[in-house]
Every structure is written in C-alpha cells, then in structure tokens.
Structure 1
C-alpha cells in the first residue's frame, strides 16, 4: 500500500472513530443488553412465566365497554414480543349521534384523539397502564441503544434528535470500520491472532484494537449497515418517494409493508350479531401455525361496516422471512384480502426480515443472542483501546502543550463516561428491587444521575489507570450484588430459577454473576501486574 492511501485511510479512521467514540460505546453497550430485553423485563417483574398466559381480548373490550361507549371506534393492538401484553390505541368514536363520555384517565394520549386513549395492557394482571408507568429496564436499555432519551432535545431535522444522532453515528461507524480494515489489510493474515499482553501499554492496546476489531468486523459491519437502514430509513426513502411516488411517502411505506392503511366508511348501522375477538384470532393462529399474531386492527367497532385486520410474522427459527395478513368483513364473514406469512413470502419480506433479524439476533435462540452479546462487548473493548491509542500517540513532547491538554481531557471524559456504564447499569438493576415504585421517571433518575455522579468522580481522578481500577472494582461489586438482591427480595435464587425453568431470570442472574467475577479477576490482575501509565496530568 502506497503512503498516500495509507494516510487517507489512517486519518479517516482516526477522525471518524474519535468523533463518535463515546456515543458508539453507549450504542454498543446498551445494545448488547438489549438482546435480552424480554428477559430483563421478566427479571424486573419477577415473572417466571411458569404458566402460559393466553391473551383475553374479549375481557379487555368488555372492561372498556363498562366505562366507555365503544360504538364506532377503531382499535389497534401492537403485541409485545414476549406475548405478555400489548400497546393499544383506541380512537374517538366516528359516530356523532352518541354522547361521548369522559376520556379514559391516562397520562399518555400521544395517539388518542378526543376521548380516545393509548395505553399498555398486560394480559396477566388485566390492568391497563400508561407507557410511562409500564416502563421497565429492558425497554430503557433497548431505547438507549438508539439514543431515544435524547429525543427530549427540541431539535428536529426530519427526525427526532436522538434518532438522527444515532443514524449519523452509525453512518460514521461504517467509515471507521472500512478504513480500519483497509489499514490492516496487508498484515491481516500474519497478525490475525497477534496479542502481546506483556509488552508496553501502547502495544497491548494496539493489539487489542486490531485483533478484536478484525475478528468482530463482520458482526460490526452487519450492525452498522442494518442500524443505518433501521434508524435513518426516512433519509434513504425520501428520494424514492419524490421521484417514484410523487412525494407520497405514506404510499411508499405501505408498499414496503411498514404501514397498512385501513380506511372503512362508517355506516351508522349497528352490527346485528355478536363478535368474538378471541375466537377470531384463535382461528387464524391455528391456520397460520408457527406464525404468531403481531398486530390487530379493528375498524368501526360494532358497526355494519366493521372490519378486522390481523398481521402475523413467522417464527424466525422456523422460517427466516415472511409476513402475513388477513382482512375480513365481520358482518358478511367475507375475507377481503389475505396473504400467508409462510407460503406468500415475497422479495420485500426477504429484505425486511434479513435486516431486522440480523440486527436483533432473534433467529437463533438464546445461544445466538449470547454470541451477539459477547461480540457487542468486544466492540466496546475495541472502542476503549482505540481511545487509549489515540491518547498515547498524541502525548508527545513535540506536540504543543495546549493540544496535549485538550487530547488528555477529551480522552479522560470519554473513558470516564464509557467505563462508568457497567457499574451504573448494575446499580440500577439493584435499585429496581429496592425502590417502592418503578416507572420511566424513576429509571431515568436512578440511571442518569448515578451515571453523571460517577462520571464526574472518575473525571476528577485525572488518571486513566485509576479510572480503570475504580470502575472494575465497582463493576465487580455491583454485578455480584444483582443476583443476591434479587434472591433476597423475591426468593428467586439462582438455583430455584434453574429448577423451575424461569429461564429469563436465570439468564440475567448468570450474566451478572459472570460479569462480576470477570471484573473482580481483571481488577486483581491489573492491580497486581499492570505497569504504570503516565499521561499529562495538568502540567
């Protein structure tokens, strides 16, 4: 490789990498835990799932009808992946001849209009709740991995600020990945497994950055590409909507099977028969074996023009790609349109399923998610080692003092904020079992305030070696306390969850036990064998 190409690759890799380092670490760290979103939710709520919970839609509708006139309303059920509940959007009635009661008391009406409502409903306790009240740690880490909390910032350039920032980070990550691979291409075979832990620190970090980066390259490339597509699809589709759809972006998203427009005129004639939603759903679930229902849309409830649309997706372990739906007129029983989730899979299904399943790792069970979890943490190690390489390479006497100070403080802030995430996450898990009430506000307060306090403390140390030691010790203590606190507060000890096949709770306890043991071992090794590492300390 000639020197000009090498310099281009090197500077592109370095600049793109250091700009996104801290945010990319947050995305990788939170995303790694987000693979176990449902298990984290079960751990927090002490749900063993020993009994199969059947969705009773009729009970929900009957309960709503006691306080609200449901005539002429539209319903949208968005079922959770765990099948334990659903987000439900209930519109205002289209019937202008009936008196409208007071709206359902809900703090969240972001999709409801008039006396409509939007709420979360769990089939086990059969109680509606708002999104904020039903918020859990699994949802928090999942949304943190695409920076959703930053959507509170009132900046919108075609998308909420957090989503836009996550898309930009993913896009720059592509540059860092590709240029990094090109930098090491000539020696990729000779140095593939080269790791020299007893050499000087710069060599250790360089080997860690190179080896883990090259080994994890396919995984990281998949996540960069799929992340860009999932989070910034509005930017990718806008040119197509203008040139191919005359600016009708809703039609484009419908053709891509993201949205489904269901417009049914209201007849002002009551339905002359009862409707059993449980039986209706059960019938199609039996017909589509292995393809659970993911969404239910009801239009013009109890009207003669009432229509119901079911959407289903095949189990990825049985069929990788596919999606199905059925649209039926309830009064006549006529099936107006249908598509089998298995037999009628098309090109769009294949592309969408490929992107979705590769990003979320839901097609290989717990074993694959564990592999993705480890690869995600390897990505975190690559980022940390990259920051250290960048710092050491610029901590030289021939570099002006003001630049060295800036480089040190930038690296110090990045390292402190990144390494604080593991002890803060474990601490928040512990607090979930201690606090009397858990909701979105409580999780935000515990996580972000403790993250801020610990980050400031670590930054004040002004020493990367001490930052590393302190975070390893805190991580070890808090991670080991997670299963202990869970056992004391719920009685679901590690061996009990194993014997009762409460796999979600057992998995989370095991992960934190292993992380705690690894952190304590690393702390002992680093404290005993680590060489001193000197950097600019405000000289």
Structure 2
C-alpha cells in the first residue's frame, strides 16, 4: 500500500472512530449489562428465577379489553416475565376506534401502545412498581440502543453500528501487514502514545470477530426498516410480499378462546422440559386471525431450538409448522440467527459471561483509541489547539468513564427507593442521568485525564462494593445465604458487583500519573 492510500485509510479510521466513540462506548458498556437483564430484574425485585409458567391467554386478552384499549386489528405479544404476564402491542394506525360504554380511555390512548405487566394470579395490573413500570435490566437494555432518545435514538444507534463496521474494516486494512506481530507487541515501558497504541491494537485484534459480529447485527437490527423500504419498492417478490414481511411475517386473527388449543399444543411436549412459551395474536378480530406460538425446550442440540406453529383461529387449521430439530426457511433463519448470536442465546451462562468480558474489552479499545488521538496531539505543533483538544478529551473521557459509576449508582438507588414509591423509576432514571452529566461536567472543569480515570474507577469501586451491602440491608438476601435460599440471581449479581468493585477499587488506588514528553 502506498503512503497516500495508507494515510487515507488511517485518517478515515481515526475520524470515524472518534465521531462514534462516546455512542459506541455506551452501546457496549450498557449492552454488557443488558446481557443479564433478566438476572438483574430478578435481583431488583427480590424474586427467585422460576421455570415455565402457563399463561391464561383468555384472561389476559379480557383484561386488556377491560382496560379500554381498541382491540380491532391489534398484534399482541404475550409472554411470561418476572413472575407476571407481559403484553405488548404497537400503537394502532389508520383504524377507527370501536365505541363502547366500557371504554375508559380516550381515542388516542385506546389506540396507543399497550405495554402492560399483569399479575400471574389475578391478571390485574401488577402492583409491584419494579415490575409493572420500568425495571433496571430493561432500562440498561434500552440504553444500549439509545431508546431514551425519542424517535431517532434507535436509528442513531444503527448509524453508530454502521460507522463502527467502517472503522473496523479500515482498521484491519491499516494494520493488516503487521496484525500478527502487533498482537504480540505490548511495550509497557515505552511512551504513552506507544502504550495506548499497543493496547488499542492488541485488544482490537482479540475482539475482532466479536466486534465485527456486533457491528453487522446491530446495523441490521436498528436500520432494517430504513433500508428495506426503498428496496421493497424496487424488488417485490412473485407473491407481492415485501422483504420486511419475509423477515418479520405479518399474519391475521379474531377473538376466540385459545387456552384449550394451547393446552393441547403443550401436551405434545410432555417428554421435554419446556423453557418458555411466546405467543403472538395478529390482527385481532379479523376474519383471518391467526395465533403464532413459539415453544422452547431445554434441548440445546439445535441452534434454532424452538418449535413454531401458526394456526388460523377461525378453524384452527395449521398454517405453518417448524419442529425444533429443523431450521426455519432462509429469510426467517437469517433473522433468527442474527438475534441468537447478538444476544448470546446459544451457549448458556458461560457464553454470556464471555460476551460480557469481550464487551468490556471493546470499551477499553474505544478508550485507548481516544487516548492515542489525544496523546498524538499533545505536541508543540498542536499548541495552538491545546486548550480545545484538552476540553474535547475531557468531555470524551468524562462521558465514557462516568458511565461506570453512574450505573453502579443506579443499582444502589434501586435498593434505596421503596418498591411502592410513586414514580419510583422516573426518579431513579433522572438521578442516574444527573450523576452521569454531572461527572462529565466535572471532567470538563478539571481537565485532568488521570484524575478523570482514577476518580471514576474509585467511585465505581466503592459503590460496587456497597451494592451487595445495600441489597442485604434492603432485602435480607445477603449473598452468602441467597444461593442456599434459591435466589441464584441475587447471589450472581451481588457477587459480580463485589468482585468488580474490589478489582476496580484496587486499580484506582494503584494508579500513578505519567507524563508525556513534549515533542
């Protein structure tokens, strides 16, 4: 490669990486925790992880209707989660509200989004604030694709994923000739620039397949609708179905009792331990209404370890069937495969722990990349931009490194605020944001990279150690006895925070400032 081409790829890699660095760090750091969102939710609510719970679908549908929602044409997702029944339906569009004296909602609310958590015994709205509203695990999951930013957050995360893929490809091109030798090179006693460069390159190579996978799958998840619409207009299939309909098929249903049919379906799985059941009712009240049901068992011989059935509700005719031993059709299989590898749903807890470690390593790659950029500009030739570069660096590092103690702070808050407190999670969310923004502002004021790093680690370390203490005081589930009592998720989360807190605090106390020579 000539010098000109090398410089083009190098500068492209640097610019694209710097532009997305904060967003990318948030995606991977929050995403690392989101891998264990169910465990975190169990820890927050002080509940034991339960096995499969059979849902009363008729009562669930009756409760939704009783709440006053317009049910005509609804696509309903119904599944068990955290000791209750979750129901979700996107807002209705271009439909006429069915007028009823029973309706307690106005037109916009009745046609709006349904996002309910019902008690699994009474099928009333759950009174547990930690479950019926927002949960910590769900919040972190949504944070990793910027869902808190209205309308554009999801697409912004997709653009970050695309630029991340771009940065990976240009980075591989830049380092290709020395990618093996650089992997084994780590010069701890050299200058700061060389130290950060070696760390950035070595850790980048270690996580390369992992990072590439997330860049591709994240792009597809967040930008599928955007890229599919123009393609659909150009390339319809022979049946008139769009590409999006192939990937996320659309079906149609009507109001009918479905409990007996689901009982009959599940009886065929008596020889297997059912892990989960997920049901969707499409186009409720429509004459061609259908029930789509997925049944997962603990058999892990197949990657696509679920049985899928689609029935037309008017006559219970089987429209589609996929046994667990077979792969689904290509279009659906590709979507399922992307989902499976993105969430690590194919290798149990040990794979998710590996994903967690690799996600944190990716965060280190982001930080070291920023440090390479900053140290490279700590020269006399950049003295006219020294103040600007210092400010930008402080904001970048404060925003990224401040997320760690902010999340630890959020864990502490969930064990501080009473579960029945009104607007509990709204307060927790705002206090999390205030802490994070506050640390970024503090970083901008002090403009000391060493102090920004050390203080973030110190705060996170102290709060990480306090998290199991707060949980023990709040719930009585001290980690040394929670496992014996069957609260495995409480034990897992507490022990993880205790270890992470101790290691982080030790690193913070051992850190020593280093000076970069002016050149």
Report the TM range for the smaller structure's normalisation.
0.7 to 0.9
Q: CA deviation at 1:350?
A: 2.1
Q: What residue in structure 2 maps to residue 325 of structure 1?
A: 309
Residue correspondence of structure 1 range 58-137 to structure 2 within 5 A: 58-61=58-61, 76-79=76-79, 84-89=84-89, 99-103=100-104, 111=112, 118-123=115-120, 126-128=123-125, 133-137=132-136
* In 1, Cα distance between equivalents of 2:68 and 2:166: 54
Q: 1:524 aligned to 509, 514, 519, which one?
A: 509
1:483-503: CA deviation from partner (whole Å, max 9, x where unpaired)? 110111001111222223422
User: 1:275-306 CA deviation, whole Å, 9 max, x = no partner?
Assistant: 4x4332222233365584322317666x9x69
Residues 1:176 and 1:299: Cα distance change in structure 2 (over 3 Å)? closer
Quote the Cα distance in structure 2 between the aligned partners of 1:249 and 1:442.
49
CA–CA separation in structure 2 for the residues paired with 1:523 and 1:364? 34
**Equivalent of 2:445 in 450, 455, 460:** 460
**Kept after mapping to 2: 8 A contact 1:241/1:252:** yes
In the other structure, the counterpart of 2:142 is 143
Measure how far apart 1:361 and its partner are: 0.9
Deviations 1:133-173 (A, max 9, x none): 5211111111111111112xxxxxxxx31122111111111
Alignment-derived partner of residue 396 in structure 2? 414
Q: Give 3-state SS (helix, strand or coil) of 1:399's partner.
A: helix
1:4 shift after superposition = 2.2
Structure 2, gaps ≥5 residues long: none
Measured after TM superposition, the shift of residue 521 of structure 1 is 1.4
Query: What's 1:500 paired with?
Result: 485
Contact kept? 2:31, 2:141, Cα under 8 Å: yes
Aligned residue runs from structure 1 range 252-263, under 5 A = 252-256=243-247, 258-262=248-252
Cα distance in structure 1, aligned partners of 2:135 and 2:64 = 25
Deviations 1:442-480 (A, max 9, x none): 232121111111221222111001111111110110111
Matched, 1:390 2:368: no
1:379 and 2:378 are equivalent in the alignment: no
> 2-side partners of 1:16 and 1:227: how far apart?
17
Give the corresponding residue for 2:265: 284
**1:395-433 CA-partner distances (Å, limit 9, x unpaired):** 2111251x2222221111000111001111001110111
**Alpha-carbon distance in structure 2 between the residues aligned to 1:310 and 1:225:** 28
**CA–CA distance in 2 between the matches of 1:77 and 1:515?**
37
Report if aligned partners of 1:327, 1:337 keep a CA contact under 8 Å in 2: yes
- Which region of structure 1 is more displaced relative to structure 2, 415-424 or 51-60? 51-60
Of 255, 265, 277, 1:293 maps to 277
- Alignment partner, residue 190 of structure 2: 199
Is the 2:253–2:290 contact (alpha carbons within 8 Å) kept by the matching residues of 1? Answer: no
In structure 2, C-alpha distance between the alignment counterparts of 1:162 and 1:521, rounded to whole Å: 36
Question: Displacement, 1:365?
Answer: 1.0
> 1:58 offset after TM fit, Å?
4.3
CA distance in 2, matches of 1:399, 1:14: 17
TM-score calculated relative to the size of structure 2: 0.87
1:471 matched residue in structure 2: 456
Alpha-carbon distance in 1 for matches of 2:141, 2:282? 29
Distance 1:417 1:325 in 2: 46
The answer as to whether partners of 1:209 and 1:386 remain within 8 angstroms in 2 is yes
Alignment of 1:3-402 (within 5 A): 3-49=3-49, 53-61=53-61, 76-79=76-79, 84-89=84-89, 99-103=100-104, 111=112, 118-123=115-120, 126-128=123-125, 133-151=132-150, 160-245=151-236, 251-256=242-247, 258-262=248-252, 275=257, 277-287=258-268, 292-297=276-281, 307-312=289-294, 314=296, 317-321=300-304, 324-329=308-313, 333-342=315-324, 343=326, 345-401=328-384
- Residue by residue, what CA displacement relative to the aligned partner does 1:214-272 show, whole Å, maximum 9, x if unpaired? 100110000001100110002321232111239x998432222x1423166x9xxxx8x
SS of residue in 1 equivalent to 2:382? coil
1:107-136 CA-partner distances (Å, limit 9, x unpaired): 965636xxxx65232426743259995211
- Between 1:35-44 and 1:63-72, the stretch displaced more is 63-72
Is 103-112 or 216-225 further displaced after alignment? 103-112
Match of 1:155 in 2: none
Q: Indicate conservation of the 8 Å contact 2:252/2:288, yes or no.
A: no
3-state SS in 2 of match to 1:398: helix
In structure 2, relative to structure 1, the CA distance for the partners of 1:319 and 1:520 (3 Å cut) is same
3-state DSSP class of the match of 2:148? helix
| SS at 1:430 equivalent | helix
d(CA) in 1 for partners of 2:185, 2:90: 59
Question: Shift in Å at residue 387 of structure 1?
Answer: 0.8
Instruction: Work out whether residues 278 and 294 of structure 2, in 8 Å CA contact, stay in contact via their aligned partners in 1.
Output: yes
**Alpha-carbon offset, residue 90 of structure 1:** 10
Instruction: Check conservation: 1:85, 1:121, Cα contact below 8 A.
Output: yes
Count of aligned pairs:
505
Pairs within 5 Å for 1:427-446 = 427-436=409-418, 437=421, 439-446=424-431
Q: Displacement, 1:86?
A: 1.4
Larger mean CA deviation between 486-495 and 121-130 belongs to 121-130
Change (3 A) 1:70 1:396: closer
Indicate conservation of the 8 Å contact 1:32/1:372, yes or no: yes
Deviates more, 1:468-477 or 1:231-240: 231-240
Aligned 8 A contact 2:116 2:132 in 1: no
SS in 2 for 1:310: strand
